[in-house]
Amino acid sequence: MRIVLSGGGTGGHIYPALAVARQMEMEDSKSTFLYIGGTRGLESKLVPQENIPFKSIDITGFRRKLSMDNVKTVMRFLKGVKASKEMLREFKPDVVIGTGGYVCGPVVYAASRLGIPTLIHEQNAIPGLTNRFLSRYASTVAVSFEGTESSFPGSKHVIYTGNPRATTVTTASPQRGFASLGISDGSTVVLVVGGSQGAKAINRAMIEMAPLVGKGNGVHYVYVTGEPYFEETRAELRQKLGSLPNWLHVLPYVHNMPEVLACTSLIVNRAGASFLAEITALGIPSVLIPSPNVTNNHQEANARQLEGEGAAVVLLEKDLNGTALYEAVQTIIVSEAVREQMSAASKRLGKRDSAAVVTSELRRLAAKKS
Protein backbone atom coordinates (compact mmCIF):
# COMPACT_ATOMS: atom_id res chain seq x y z
CA MET A 1 0.00 0.00 0.00
CA ARG A 2 1.17 3.54 -0.79
CA ILE A 3 0.63 5.97 2.07
CA VAL A 4 1.18 9.70 2.43
CA LEU A 5 1.80 10.84 6.00
CA SER A 6 1.46 14.42 7.18
CA GLY A 7 1.78 16.05 10.57
CA GLY A 8 4.11 18.55 12.07
CA GLY A 9 5.24 21.37 14.25
CA THR A 10 5.78 19.29 17.40
CA GLY A 11 6.70 15.72 18.27
CA GLY A 12 3.15 15.17 19.46
CA HIS A 13 1.99 15.37 15.84
CA ILE A 14 5.00 13.66 14.25
CA TYR A 15 5.51 10.55 16.41
CA PRO A 16 1.98 9.16 15.90
CA ALA A 17 2.50 9.35 12.13
CA LEU A 18 5.83 7.56 12.41
CA ALA A 19 4.23 4.91 14.63
CA VAL A 20 1.60 4.26 11.94
CA ALA A 21 4.36 3.88 9.34
CA ARG A 22 6.26 1.37 11.46
CA GLN A 23 3.10 -0.62 12.15
CA MET A 24 2.25 -0.74 8.46
CA GLU A 25 5.79 -1.90 7.65
CA MET A 26 5.33 -4.78 10.11
CA GLU A 27 2.06 -5.75 8.47
CA ASP A 28 3.22 -5.29 4.89
CA SER A 29 6.92 -5.04 4.05
CA LYS A 30 6.06 -3.71 0.58
CA SER A 31 4.41 -0.58 1.98
CA THR A 32 5.83 2.68 0.63
CA PHE A 33 5.58 6.12 2.20
CA LEU A 34 5.91 9.79 1.49
CA TYR A 35 5.88 12.27 4.37
CA ILE A 36 4.74 15.80 3.51
CA GLY A 37 5.65 18.25 6.26
CA GLY A 38 6.43 21.90 6.80
CA THR A 39 9.67 23.56 5.88
CA ARG A 40 9.99 25.06 9.39
CA GLY A 41 8.76 22.23 11.63
CA LEU A 42 10.57 19.60 13.67
CA GLU A 43 9.43 16.98 11.13
CA SER A 44 12.00 18.27 8.63
CA LYS A 45 14.69 16.91 10.99
CA LEU A 46 13.00 13.86 12.52
CA VAL A 47 11.45 12.22 9.47
CA PRO A 48 14.60 11.90 7.32
CA GLN A 49 16.31 10.24 10.31
CA GLU A 50 13.64 7.53 10.07
CA ASN A 51 14.56 6.86 6.41
CA ILE A 52 11.14 7.95 5.18
CA PRO A 53 11.09 10.10 2.00
CA PHE A 54 10.25 13.67 2.96
CA LYS A 55 8.92 16.63 1.01
CA SER A 56 7.87 19.99 2.39
CA ILE A 57 5.52 22.88 1.81
CA ASP A 58 5.73 26.38 3.27
CA ILE A 59 2.75 26.91 5.56
CA THR A 60 1.99 28.79 8.78
CA GLY A 61 -0.93 28.75 11.20
CA PHE A 62 -3.64 31.33 11.66
CA ARG A 63 -3.29 33.95 14.35
CA ARG A 64 -6.33 34.17 16.60
CA LYS A 65 -6.38 37.96 16.40
CA LEU A 66 -7.06 39.91 13.22
CA SER A 67 -3.76 40.37 11.46
CA MET A 68 -2.32 40.94 8.00
CA ASP A 69 -0.32 37.77 8.68
CA ASN A 70 -3.55 35.81 8.23
CA VAL A 71 -3.81 37.09 4.66
CA LYS A 72 -0.32 35.71 4.04
CA THR A 73 -1.39 32.44 5.68
CA VAL A 74 -4.35 32.10 3.28
CA MET A 75 -2.00 32.64 0.34
CA ARG A 76 0.42 30.03 1.71
CA PHE A 77 -2.49 27.63 2.20
CA LEU A 78 -3.59 27.99 -1.43
CA LYS A 79 -0.02 27.54 -2.65
CA GLY A 80 0.32 24.57 -0.30
CA VAL A 81 -2.79 22.95 -1.76
CA LYS A 82 -1.40 23.37 -5.27
CA ALA A 83 2.00 21.96 -4.30
CA SER A 84 0.38 19.07 -2.39
CA LYS A 85 -1.75 18.13 -5.40
CA GLU A 86 1.39 17.93 -7.54
CA MET A 87 3.12 15.69 -4.97
CA LEU A 88 0.05 13.48 -4.61
CA ARG A 89 -0.39 13.07 -8.36
CA GLU A 90 3.26 12.07 -8.64
CA PHE A 91 3.26 9.63 -5.68
CA LYS A 92 -0.24 8.19 -6.34
CA PRO A 93 -1.09 7.17 -2.75
CA ASP A 94 -3.84 4.74 -1.83
CA VAL A 95 -4.60 6.77 1.30
CA VAL A 96 -3.48 9.94 3.10
CA ILE A 97 -3.25 10.32 6.89
CA GLY A 98 -2.87 13.59 8.79
CA THR A 99 -1.88 13.56 12.47
CA GLY A 100 -2.22 17.23 13.32
CA GLY A 101 -0.51 20.57 12.93
CA TYR A 102 -1.33 23.19 10.34
CA VAL A 103 0.73 21.46 7.63
CA CYS A 104 -2.01 18.82 7.41
CA GLY A 105 -4.49 21.43 6.21
CA PRO A 106 -3.40 21.80 2.59
CA VAL A 107 -2.23 18.16 2.30
CA VAL A 108 -5.44 16.47 3.46
CA TYR A 109 -7.64 19.05 1.74
CA ALA A 110 -5.76 18.49 -1.54
CA ALA A 111 -6.17 14.73 -1.21
CA SER A 112 -9.91 15.05 -0.64
CA ARG A 113 -10.25 17.23 -3.75
CA LEU A 114 -8.40 14.54 -5.75
CA GLY A 115 -10.72 11.79 -4.48
CA ILE A 116 -8.02 10.08 -2.38
CA PRO A 117 -9.29 8.49 0.88
CA THR A 118 -8.13 10.44 3.93
CA LEU A 119 -7.90 9.88 7.67
CA ILE A 120 -7.14 12.55 10.25
CA HIS A 121 -6.11 11.72 13.79
CA GLU A 122 -6.84 14.01 16.74
CA GLN A 123 -4.55 13.41 19.72
CA ASN A 124 -6.17 15.81 22.18
CA ALA A 125 -9.44 15.80 24.07
CA ILE A 126 -10.25 19.19 22.52
CA PRO A 127 -9.69 19.24 18.74
CA GLY A 128 -7.33 21.70 17.12
CA LEU A 129 -8.37 24.28 14.54
CA THR A 130 -6.86 22.38 11.59
CA ASN A 131 -8.61 19.11 12.37
CA ARG A 132 -11.93 20.86 12.96
CA PHE A 133 -11.61 22.32 9.48
CA LEU A 134 -10.48 19.05 7.88
CA SER A 135 -13.18 16.93 9.56
CA ARG A 136 -15.65 18.15 6.92
CA TYR A 137 -13.53 16.68 4.13
CA ALA A 138 -11.81 13.63 5.65
CA SER A 139 -13.11 10.12 4.97
CA THR A 140 -12.46 9.16 8.62
CA VAL A 141 -11.74 11.08 11.81
CA ALA A 142 -9.89 9.09 14.49
CA VAL A 143 -9.81 10.22 18.14
CA SER A 144 -7.46 9.36 21.00
CA PHE A 145 -9.90 9.71 23.89
CA GLU A 146 -13.02 7.59 24.08
CA GLY A 147 -16.12 9.73 24.31
CA THR A 148 -14.72 12.65 22.30
CA GLU A 149 -16.23 11.46 19.02
CA SER A 150 -18.99 14.06 19.43
CA SER A 151 -16.40 16.81 18.99
CA PHE A 152 -16.70 16.29 15.24
CA PRO A 153 -20.39 16.75 14.37
CA GLY A 154 -21.17 16.40 10.71
CA SER A 155 -18.09 14.29 9.95
CA LYS A 156 -18.53 11.33 7.57
CA HIS A 157 -17.09 8.70 9.92
CA VAL A 158 -15.60 9.09 13.44
CA ILE A 159 -13.87 6.25 15.31
CA TYR A 160 -12.04 5.83 18.60
CA THR A 161 -8.55 4.45 17.98
CA GLY A 162 -6.39 5.70 20.83
CA ASN A 163 -3.01 7.26 20.06
CA PRO A 164 -0.71 5.26 17.73
CA ARG A 165 2.33 6.46 19.68
CA ALA A 166 1.25 4.20 22.55
CA THR A 167 2.15 1.09 20.55
CA THR A 168 5.78 2.22 20.27
CA VAL A 169 6.56 1.98 24.01
CA THR A 170 4.95 -1.36 24.85
CA THR A 171 8.04 -3.36 23.88
CA ALA A 172 10.53 -1.10 25.71
CA SER A 173 12.95 -2.82 28.12
CA PRO A 174 12.81 -1.68 31.78
CA GLN A 175 16.21 -3.29 32.37
CA ARG A 176 17.76 -1.00 29.76
CA GLY A 177 15.98 1.91 31.39
CA PHE A 178 17.44 1.14 34.82
CA ALA A 179 20.90 0.60 33.30
CA SER A 180 20.86 3.90 31.42
CA LEU A 181 20.06 5.73 34.66
CA GLY A 182 22.65 3.79 36.71
CA ILE A 183 19.91 2.48 39.01
CA SER A 184 19.51 -1.10 40.23
CA ASP A 185 16.81 -3.24 38.59
CA GLY A 186 13.49 -3.19 40.41
CA SER A 187 14.09 0.14 42.18
CA THR A 188 11.25 2.62 42.70
CA VAL A 189 11.66 5.51 40.28
CA VAL A 190 9.82 8.84 40.29
CA LEU A 191 10.36 10.58 36.95
CA VAL A 192 9.79 14.35 36.82
CA VAL A 193 9.84 15.84 33.35
CA GLY A 194 8.50 19.06 31.83
CA GLY A 195 8.64 18.16 28.15
CA SER A 196 11.49 17.97 25.66
CA GLN A 197 12.54 21.58 26.31
CA GLY A 198 11.69 21.52 30.00
CA ALA A 199 9.29 23.74 31.94
CA LYS A 200 10.49 26.52 34.21
CA ALA A 201 7.58 26.19 36.64
CA ILE A 202 8.11 22.45 37.08
CA ASN A 203 11.87 22.90 37.50
CA ARG A 204 11.24 25.50 40.21
CA ALA A 205 8.92 23.09 42.04
CA MET A 206 11.50 20.30 41.69
CA ILE A 207 14.14 22.49 43.34
CA GLU A 208 11.78 23.40 46.18
CA MET A 209 10.71 19.77 46.66
CA ALA A 210 14.19 18.21 46.87
CA PRO A 211 14.95 19.18 50.51
CA LEU A 212 11.56 17.81 51.60
CA VAL A 213 12.40 14.36 50.27
CA GLY A 214 15.05 13.89 52.96
CA LYS A 215 17.22 10.87 52.20
CA GLY A 216 15.04 9.55 49.43
CA ASN A 217 13.59 6.71 51.53
CA GLY A 218 14.64 4.12 48.96
CA VAL A 219 13.08 6.05 46.05
CA HIS A 220 15.13 7.36 43.12
CA TYR A 221 14.04 10.74 41.79
CA VAL A 222 14.95 11.47 38.17
CA TYR A 223 14.72 15.17 37.28
CA VAL A 224 14.73 15.89 33.53
CA THR A 225 15.21 19.63 33.32
CA GLY A 226 15.35 20.28 29.57
CA GLU A 227 18.60 21.48 27.98
CA PRO A 228 17.91 25.23 28.46
CA TYR A 229 17.45 24.86 32.24
CA PHE A 230 19.94 22.12 33.08
CA GLU A 231 22.98 24.03 34.39
CA GLU A 232 20.87 26.53 36.33
CA THR A 233 18.70 23.82 37.93
CA ARG A 234 21.64 21.60 38.88
CA ALA A 235 23.50 24.54 40.42
CA GLU A 236 20.49 25.54 42.55
CA LEU A 237 19.98 21.96 43.71
CA ARG A 238 23.62 21.72 44.76
CA GLN A 239 23.29 25.00 46.65
CA LYS A 240 20.22 23.75 48.52
CA LEU A 241 21.45 20.22 49.21
CA GLY A 242 25.22 20.77 49.50
CA SER A 243 25.81 18.05 46.90
CA LEU A 244 23.62 15.85 44.74
CA PRO A 245 22.67 12.70 46.72
CA ASN A 246 22.77 9.27 45.06
CA TRP A 247 18.96 9.11 45.02
CA LEU A 248 18.67 12.27 42.90
CA HIS A 249 19.48 12.03 39.18
CA VAL A 250 19.48 15.34 37.27
CA LEU A 251 19.49 15.08 33.48
CA PRO A 252 19.11 17.65 30.69
CA TYR A 253 17.29 15.27 28.35
CA VAL A 254 16.39 11.60 27.99
CA HIS A 255 17.10 10.10 24.57
CA ASN A 256 15.69 6.66 25.40
CA MET A 257 12.41 7.81 26.95
CA PRO A 258 10.42 4.61 26.20
CA GLU A 259 12.96 2.54 28.17
CA VAL A 260 13.08 5.03 31.04
CA LEU A 261 9.27 5.10 31.15
CA ALA A 262 9.27 1.30 31.29
CA CYS A 263 11.19 1.39 34.60
CA THR A 264 9.21 4.29 36.10
CA SER A 265 6.89 3.78 39.09
CA LEU A 266 5.36 7.28 39.10
CA ILE A 267 5.67 10.16 36.65
CA VAL A 268 5.22 13.89 37.09
CA ASN A 269 4.73 15.57 33.71
CA ARG A 270 2.75 17.86 31.44
CA ALA A 271 -0.36 16.52 29.72
CA GLY A 272 0.53 16.42 26.05
CA ALA A 273 -1.50 13.77 24.26
CA SER A 274 1.36 11.64 22.93
CA PHE A 275 3.06 11.49 26.31
CA LEU A 276 -0.19 10.47 27.98
CA ALA A 277 -0.58 7.74 25.38
CA GLU A 278 2.84 6.39 26.32
CA ILE A 279 2.26 6.36 30.08
CA THR A 280 -1.18 4.75 29.81
CA ALA A 281 0.19 2.09 27.46
CA LEU A 282 2.64 1.18 30.23
CA GLY A 283 0.15 1.70 33.09
CA ILE A 284 2.16 4.38 34.90
CA PRO A 285 0.41 6.42 37.64
CA SER A 286 0.92 10.15 37.15
CA VAL A 287 0.82 13.60 38.66
CA LEU A 288 -0.16 15.82 35.73
CA ILE A 289 0.65 19.54 35.54
CA PRO A 290 -1.08 20.77 32.37
CA SER A 291 0.56 23.61 30.50
CA PRO A 292 -1.67 26.70 30.71
CA ASN A 293 -0.08 28.10 27.55
CA VAL A 294 -1.76 25.91 24.93
CA THR A 295 -4.70 26.43 22.59
CA ASN A 296 -8.14 25.96 24.20
CA ASN A 297 -6.44 24.78 27.41
CA HIS A 298 -6.47 21.32 25.82
CA GLN A 299 -3.82 19.88 28.15
CA GLU A 300 -6.07 20.29 31.16
CA ALA A 301 -8.86 18.56 29.23
CA ASN A 302 -6.45 15.72 28.45
CA ALA A 303 -5.39 15.47 32.10
CA ARG A 304 -8.96 15.47 33.40
CA GLN A 305 -9.67 12.42 31.22
CA LEU A 306 -7.04 10.45 33.18
CA GLU A 307 -8.06 11.95 36.50
CA GLY A 308 -11.67 10.97 35.89
CA GLU A 309 -10.63 7.34 35.45
CA GLY A 310 -8.48 7.32 38.59
CA ALA A 311 -5.18 7.11 36.68
CA ALA A 312 -3.79 10.53 37.61
CA VAL A 313 -3.76 13.40 40.07
CA VAL A 314 -4.03 16.82 38.42
CA LEU A 315 -2.10 19.76 39.88
CA LEU A 316 -2.66 23.06 38.09
CA GLU A 317 0.36 25.27 37.51
CA LYS A 318 -1.21 28.16 39.45
CA ASP A 319 -1.22 25.89 42.53
CA LEU A 320 2.24 24.43 41.89
CA ASN A 321 5.06 24.76 44.41
CA GLY A 322 7.52 22.41 46.08
CA THR A 323 5.23 21.52 48.97
CA ALA A 324 2.19 20.85 46.78
CA LEU A 325 4.25 18.67 44.44
CA TYR A 326 5.84 16.76 47.33
CA GLU A 327 2.44 16.06 48.90
CA ALA A 328 0.96 14.87 45.60
CA VAL A 329 3.91 12.54 45.00
CA GLN A 330 3.94 11.22 48.57
CA THR A 331 0.23 10.41 48.49
CA ILE A 332 0.93 7.95 45.69
CA ILE A 333 4.48 6.72 46.21
CA VAL A 334 4.15 5.68 49.87
CA SER A 335 1.15 3.44 49.21
CA GLU A 336 1.62 0.36 47.05
CA ALA A 337 -2.15 -0.15 47.02
CA VAL A 338 -2.74 3.35 45.62
CA ARG A 339 -0.07 2.85 42.97
CA GLU A 340 -1.56 -0.48 41.92
CA GLN A 341 -5.07 0.99 41.65
CA MET A 342 -3.83 3.93 39.58
CA SER A 343 -1.67 1.68 37.43
CA ALA A 344 -4.65 -0.57 36.66
CA ALA A 345 -6.75 2.47 35.73
CA SER A 346 -3.95 3.77 33.52
CA LYS A 347 -3.64 0.42 31.74
CA ARG A 348 -7.38 0.32 31.07
CA LEU A 349 -7.03 3.61 29.20
CA GLY A 350 -4.04 2.41 27.20
CA LYS A 351 -5.10 -1.15 26.43
CA ARG A 352 -5.78 -0.65 22.72
CA ASP A 353 -3.18 -1.56 20.09
CA SER A 354 -3.78 1.89 18.64
CA ALA A 355 -1.39 1.81 15.70
CA ALA A 356 -2.93 -1.45 14.49
CA VAL A 357 -6.43 0.01 14.82
CA VAL A 358 -5.38 2.96 12.65
CA THR A 359 -3.70 0.81 10.00
CA SER A 360 -6.78 -1.42 9.85
CA GLU A 361 -8.89 1.65 9.07
CA LEU A 362 -6.38 2.77 6.43
CA ARG A 363 -6.67 -0.63 4.77
CA ARG A 364 -10.46 -0.36 4.81
CA LEU A 365 -10.35 3.04 3.17
CA ALA A 366 -7.87 1.91 0.51
CA ALA A 367 -9.96 -1.17 -0.28
CA LYS A 368 -13.09 0.95 -0.53
CA LYS A 369 -11.35 3.18 -3.08
CA SER A 370 -10.25 0.25 -5.23
For residues 269 and 123, membership in a common domain is answered with no
Instruction: Say if residue 12 carries a ligand binding annotation.
Output: yes
For residues 299 and 336, membership in a common domain is answered with yes
User: What is the rounded radius of gyration, in angstroms, for the C-alpha atoms of the chain?
Assistant: 21
Instruction: Say if residue 196 carries a ligand binding annotation.
Output: yes
**Residues making up the chain, counted from first to last:** 370
Question: How far apart are alpha carbons 367 and 175 in whole angstroms?
Answer: 42
Band (pLDDT 50/70/90 cuts) for residue 68 is low
For residues 154 and 251, membership in a common domain is answered with no
* Poorest-pLDDT segment among 8-12, 63-67, 152-156, 201-205: 63-67
- Domain enclosing residue 237, as ranges: 169-349
For residues 149 and 261, membership in a common domain is answered with no
Question: How far apart are alpha carbons 54 and 48 in whole angstroms?
Answer: 6
For residues 24 and 150, membership in a common domain is answered with yes
pLDDT tens digit string along 134-166?
A: 999 999 999 998 889 999 998 989 999 999 988
Question: How far apart are alpha carbons 84 and 113 in whole angstroms?
Answer: 11
Secondary structure (DSSP) of 121-182: EE-SSS--HHHHHHTTT-SEEEESSTT-GGGSTT-S-EEE---THHHHHTT--HHHHHHHHT
Could you say which DSSP state residue 356 is in? H
pLDDT tens digit string along 90-127?
A: 999 999 999 999 899 999 999 999 999 999 999 999 99
For residues 314 and 204, membership in a common domain is answered with yes
pLDDT of residue 72 exceeding 80: no
For residues 195 and 151, membership in a common domain is answered with no
Instruction: Say if residue 124 carries a ligand binding annotation.
Output: yes
Instruction: Say if residue 299 carries a ligand binding annotation.
Output: yes
What CATH number is associated with residue 254? 3.40.50.2000
For residues 71 and 154, membership in a common domain is answered with yes
For residues 179 and 99, membership in a common domain is answered with no
Question: How far apart are alpha carbons 331 and 306 in whole angstroms?
Answer: 17
For residues 134 and 180, membership in a common domain is answered with no
Instruction: Say if residue 115 carries a ligand binding annotation.
Output: no
Question: Of 171, 160, 229, 210, nearest to 326 (Cα)?
Answer: 210
Instruction: Say if residue 61 carries a ligand binding annotation.
Output: no
For residues 189 and 262, membership in a common domain is answered with yes
For residues 316 and 185, membership in a common domain is answered with yes
Number of domains, the chain: 2
**Whole-prediction pTM:** 0.80
CA angle 335–340–346, rounded 5-degree value? 125
